[in-house]
Amino acid sequence: MNPDFIASNQADRADNVRVGTNEELIEMLRKDIRDHKAKNDKVILLWTANTEMFLLPEINALDDLEDRIKNNVPLPSSVLYCVAAIKEGITYLNGSPQNTFHPAIVEMAGKHGALLAGNDFKSGQTRFKTVMSDFIIGAGLRLASVVSYNHLGNNDGKNLSEDKTFRSK
């Protein structure tokens, strides 16, 4: 949605991008959510995209967030998806390590009665290392080092090789 928040070395992979103003994009997403709600008993938005560029300063006030949306100030896709989920009253489950849950987002969710959850699922090898490290230490063994190689090449290394996305991790 907003290439400013995507690592430049990911441009060749971003081949299904929606375009429009913040308000237009949020409305497109809300329509998608409503379409899914019409076909399902329960809808949860699960965010598992690549890490986005870190957004500073934090969006602390709800009126500031609403002004940024209205005035088309560049916002990360995760924030736009989250706003759409909140406005449709569904759960937004964040599985990526970025700064989506600004204070203004949390306030908006409270006003709409929407649930926000999650902060980096640490799936795959990261999760395995965490579980195994706990197991080894719990078994009374001393853990000196944990080294791994992402042999499946899930694009994390490439995405995080750019500073603007690395800072979000």
Phi, psi (deg, nearest 5) at residue 123: -90, 180
Residue 87 near residue 30 (C-beta atoms within 8 A): yes
Domain count of the chain?
Answer: 1
Find out whether the peptide bond into 57 is cis, omega within 30 degrees of 0.
yes
Q: What is the pLDDT along the chain (169 residues), one digit of tens a residue?
A: 666 676 666 667 777 778 899 999 999 999 999 999 999 999 999 988 777 766 667 899 999 999 999 999 999 889 999 999 999 999 999 887 777 899 999 999 999 999 999 877 765 666 677 778 888 889 998 887 776 655 445 555 555 665 655 555 5
* Single pTM value for the model: 0.74
The pLDDT assigned to 49 comes to 76
Query: What number of CA atoms fall less than 13 Å from residue 161's CA on the CB side?
Result: 7
The pLDDT assigned to 151 comes to 47
Query: What is the separation, in whole angstroms, between the first and last Cα of the chain?
Result: 20
The pLDDT assigned to 97 comes to 73
Distances (CA, A) of 106 to 60, 63, 85, 123: 9, 13, 12, 25
* Domain interval for residue 100: 1-169
Contacts for 21 with CB less than 8 Å, ≥ 6 apart: 72
Domain containing 50 — which CATH number? 3.40.50.720
Query: What number of CA atoms fall less than 13 Å from residue 54's CA on the CB side?
Result: 11
